[in-house]
Amino acid sequence: MSREHRAAEEQLCPYDAVQAAEALCGPVVLEPVTDRRGSAVWRAVGPNGAVAVKAGEGDGALVTAREGEVADRLGLLGTHGVSDGVAWLVTPWFDGPSTREVFAPVRAGDSDRAAVRAAAVDLCRAVADLHARGWVHADLQPEHAIHTKDGVRLIDLSWAWRPGFEPSEMFRGGIPHLLAPELAAAVVAGVRPAAPSPAAEVYTLAGVLWTCITGRWPLDYERAGLLPRELGAAGVREAIATGGIPLDADRPWPELQQLLEGALLAPAGERPTAAELAGQISDV
């Protein structure tokens, strides 16, 4: 990495993280990707490859430090540390579109859906594989799966959970709009740490696919007389926990959405597993 570049990035990206990236990639150039809520991500590219570098400060430091521990436990290539109160993490960079990007043609009304359906199956299988290893991602989102040529890779592992490695007290179930009702109820009731489960994750998985199809959250708050913007995250969790919010009426892909509806409306004990959902979708 050139001296100029390092000077330009030094305040944001911890020096130790750059060193760790360079140990894997050779001299790197840092490309800023995101910077929000105390957490910043760069793509570090060098002659020997690319890695993702993430740094978290303030509350984000605890969250990023936990992600580093998860990456270790899952055996991801890379390293992590804390420098001057900033937690950082270096993991492989995954090339490919996110699930939301894969579904863009569907949202644009394109009728050729075979490849998109295959990608939906790939996502379900990646989640099923994680569950088979005893883990729950616990923060699935349309942007948290990357569809690479070697399969789907799940990212943003801060809240990933397995028995004996519980999420921190800060865990609130992940993105509220995709929260399973039983997990929302636990969070609302003040259970800490709120425990995600494979079944709750299948609800979220179905919600992710639904959102990728329609571009809208699965539940139609307005039809229940609620305005999510006024509710805030806590209010959305409470509304989901209470129930009675209908699914959004938009059905651009009725055959697939019917399956997702099954997963979204079933009580936790009757939801398909991620592997079963994969099977159902590949049979559509």
Ligand X SMILES: Nc1ncnc2c1ncn2[C@@H]1O[C@H](COP(=O)(O)OP(=O)(O)OP(=O)(O)O)[C@@H](O)[C@H]1O
Sites of contact with ligand X (CB under 6 A): 33-34, 36-37, 39, 41, 52, 54, 91, 93-94, 143, 146, 155-156
For 5, other C-beta atoms within 10 Å of its C-beta total 14
The answer to whether 67 and 156 are in contact (CB under 8 A) is yes
Per CB under 5 A, which of residues 159..218 are in contact with Mg ion?
none
In the list Mg ion, ligand X, none, the entry touching 39 (Cβ below 5 to 8 angstroms by class) is ligand X
Locate 167 and state its tokens: 């999420």
86, interface contact from Mg ion, ligand X, none, CB < 5-8 Å by kind: none
Instruction: Report the half-sphere exposure of 212 (CA within 13 A, side-chain side).
Output: 29
* Position 16 contacts Mg ion (CB under 5 A): no
Q: How far is the CB of 144 from Mg ion (least distance, A)?
A: 6
Shortest Cβ distance from residue 139 to ligand X (Å)? 7
Whether residue 59 contacts residue 44, with contact meaning beta carbons closer than 8 Å, is answered with: no
Q: Which is nearer to Mg ion, 160 or 259 (CB)?
A: 160
Q: Rounded to an integer, what distance in angstroms lies between the CA atom of residue 70 and that of residue 74?
A: 6
Please state the φ and ψ torsions of residue 183, each to the nearest 5 degrees. -75, -40
| Bond before 193 cis per omega within 30 degrees | yes
Residue 90 and residue 72 in contact, taking contact as beta carbons nearer than 8 Å:
no
Q: With contact defined as beta carbons under 8 Å apart, do 172 and 194 qualify?
A: yes
Residues 120-159 that bind Mg ion (CB under 5 A): 156
Nearer to ligand X, 146 or 245 (CB): 146
Minimal distance, residue 130 CB to ligand X, in Å: 15
**Cβ distance to ligand X smaller for residue 33 or 132:** 33
- Residue 148 or 282: the one with the smaller Cβ distance to ligand X is 148
Count of chain residues binding Mg ion (CB under 5 A): 1
Between 174 and 198, whose beta carbon lies closer to ligand X? 174
